Amino acid sequence: MGDNTIYTIRTTIGRESIVMSEIESKVKSRGYEIKAMIHPEKLKGYVMIEGKESDIREAIRDLRYIKGLIDKPVNIEEIKQFLETGEKEIEIHKGDIVEIIGGPFKRERGKVTRIGKGEVTVELLEAAVSIPVTVGIDSIRIVEKYEDKGGTETHT
């Protein structure tokens, strides 16, 4: 058990999740010694995998979208930046106009109506009927800040 190491698998960009699913299936059916896998969002085309080297090589053999295994093991310190989940410092207020940058409502714009822990509720601007949609705070980009003109806020 002491020979578990972290290796990097090169994959086709955009197919990292498929690769991880296929490896997971092989690990479950054949009992390979694989402890963990991660696809850091910032590293497109790569999957980090921790386990016994011989088992990793067997688990990725003949799988689609794999371009190879980088022979040099990775030190945990080298990838720590990809593992830490720091809270994004984003200042958002009711009334801000945002663009949704992920999920099923990608590219839609909306007005922030509620702010929760790690998520916001927006009313889609282009919708014929006002539809409140709740999305993760990391799935939005502020387009226009709401400016209080000193008057009362009106809701339509």
Model pLDDT for residues 108-148, shown as the tens digit of each residue: 999 999 998 888 999 999 888 888 999 888 888 888 888 76
Q: What is the CATH number of the domain that holds 54?
A: 3.30.70.940
The pTM for the full model equals: 0.54
Mean pLDDT of 39-46: 87
Cα 90 from Cα 142, distance rounded (Å): 9
| The last residue of a domain, from among 42, 61, 83 | 83
Domain contains 66: yes
Domain contains 151: no
pLDDT band at residue 155, thresholds of 50, 70 and 90?
Answer: very low
Q: What is the mean pLDDT of the chain?
A: 86
Give yes or no for residue 27 having a pLDDT over 50.
Answer: yes
Q: Which of 96, 87, 97, 84 is nearest to 138 (CA)?
A: 87
Q: What is the CATH number of the domain that holds 107?
A: 2.30.30.30
Q: Are 92 and 115 within 8 A, CB to CB? A: yes
Q: Are 40 and 79 within 8 A, CB to CB? A: yes
Cα 124 from Cα 97, distance rounded (Å): 10
Does 10 share its domain with 77?
yes
Residue count (the chain) = 156
Looking only at the bridges linking them, the beta strands covering 34-38 and 46-52 are: antiparallel
Which structural domain range is residue 131 located in?
97-144
79 or 97: which carries more pLDDT confidence? 97
